[in-house]
Amino acid sequence: MIQYHDIWKAFDTPVLQGVSFSVEEGEMFGVFGPSGTGKSVLLKTTIGLIDLDRGDVTVEGDSVYRGGKASLQRIRYRVGYVFQNAALFDSLDVYENVQMGLPEEELRVMKRLDVTRRVWDALELVNLEPDQVLRKLPSELSGGMRKRVGIARAIVGRPRILLWDEPTTGLDPVNTAAVERLIMRLSQELNVTSIIVTHDIQGGLEMCDRVAMLEGGHLRFIGEPDAFRESPDPVVRAFVDRAAAMAALDQVEV
């Protein structure tokens, strides 16, 4: 279980103001909200990538901000993080990038053949052909392939939790649908808890067991997808309508 306790964070202006909620084990949880409402910041707090002004996050009982270095390291090995633009290491090829997803201690004692097998399996799981991409640099891959390598790096360490930061941003509708299918398949096959921050409301509502909406630094809604669609809250309604209009516009442009 992941618990966010009274999260406060401000940069130049307040971003998160007292956000609290929890995500149950095995759940697929979506986080929506207008741009700049702190969705990605919230996701980053799950593994301590951003310092908080106040509050704490606990992941399966370990505290991110009060548990010390050892606790944070344990959490990070338990969590796979898929970055918005994949964040692959430019100077490393696909094999080296995915291999970095294996915990350091594990990597030290593993045989080279076993490492290769784990990297190979992870790439196959994300529908890439390992022999075609293993020695390629990130700059030689398409946007969709980079995203898949980023996912392979996140899952190669067999995490119990997957955090997805805008997994479909920058992808065309075909790739978006493919990545969404991949997210659902991986979450079921790997039996992980997932938190997905996304601007793709329709996709998020189809994938997630529960969703939350952030607005103005506060949690505006938390509940099941159907309740979100039918929410009487005018702010939620306006957001859902705007998202539907944007999705329709995207379809027309395609």
Partner 1 sequence: MPGPSTETPALTILQRPLASVGRVSRNVAEHAGQLGLLVARTARAFATLQVSPRSVLQQIYVIGVQSIPIVIVTAVLAGIVTSQQGGYQFQGAVPLYVLGSIVVASVVLELGPVLTAIVLVGRVGARITAELGTMKVSEQIDAFHALGRDPVAMLAAPRILAGVIAVPVLVAIANVVGVLAGMVAARLTLGLGFESFLYGARLFWHNWDLFYSLAKAVVFGFAIPVISIHMGLRTRGGAAGVGRTTTASVMFMTLTVLILDALFPPLLLQ
Q: Which of 3, 84, 127, 169 binds partner 1 (CB under 8 A)?
A: 84
Task: Show Cβ contacts of residue 201 under 8 Å, excluding neighbours closer than 6 positions.
Answer: 32, 239, 240, 243, 244, 247
| Coil, strand or helix at 1 | coil
79 near partner 1 (CB under 8 A): yes
Which amino acid makes up residue 110? Answer: M
Is the CB of residue 82 less than 8 Å from the CB of residue 159? no
Write the CA distances from 235 to 9, 33, 131, 173, 231, integer angstroms. Answer: 22, 10, 49, 27, 9
Residue 134, C-beta contacts closer than 8 angstroms, at least 6 positions apart: 93, 94, 95, 119, 120, 123
Selected binder of partner 1 within 30, 33, 38, 48 (CB under 8 A)? 48
Shortest CB 99 distance to partner 1, Å: 10
> Considering the complex, what minimum distance in angstroms separates the CB of residue 103 from partner 1?
6
Minimum Å gap between C-beta 143 and partner 1 is 13
Output the CA angle 116-120-122, nearest 5 degrees.
Answer: 120
Q: Among 76, 118, 147, 148, which residue interacts with partner 1 (rule: CB under 8 A)?
A: 76
Any contact of residue 95 with partner 1 (CB under 8 A)? no
Pick the binder of partner 1 from 101, 167, 203, 204 (CB under 8 A).
101
Q: What is the closest distance, in whole angstroms, from the C-beta atom of residue 90 to partner 1 in the complex?
A: 7
> Residue 63 forms beta bridges with which residues?
58
- Does residue 47 bind partner 1 (CB under 8 A)? yes
Site stretch for partner 1 (CB under 8 A), options 20-28, 84-92, 199-207, 212-220: 84-92
- Residue of the chain from 73, 127, 202, 231 that contacts partner 1 (CB under 8 A): 73
Spatial CA neighbour of 246 closest among 184, 197, 203: 203
Could you say whether residue 83 binds partner 1 (CB under 8 A)? yes
Q: Which of 52, 100, 134, 235 binds partner 1 (CB under 8 A)?
A: 100
Tell whether residue 89 is a contact of partner 1 (CB under 8 A).
Answer: yes
- Give how far Cα 70 sits from Cα of 4, 64, 101, 193, Å: 20, 10, 18, 22
Residues in Cβ contact with 238 at an 8 Å cutoff, skipping those fewer than 6 apart: none
Q: Is residue 7 a contact residue for partner 1 (CB under 8 A)?
A: no
- For the bound state, the minimum distance from the C-beta of residue 203 to partner 1, rounded and expressed in Å, comes to 22
- Binding of partner 1 by 143 (CB under 8 A): no
Q: What are phi and psi of 85, to 5 degrees?
A: -110, 35
Instruction: Please report whether residue 44 would count as binding partner 1 according to CB under 8 A.
Output: yes
Give me the residues that bind partner 1 (CB under 8 A), please: 44, 47-49, 73, 76-77, 79, 81, 83-85, 87-90, 100-101, 103-104, 153
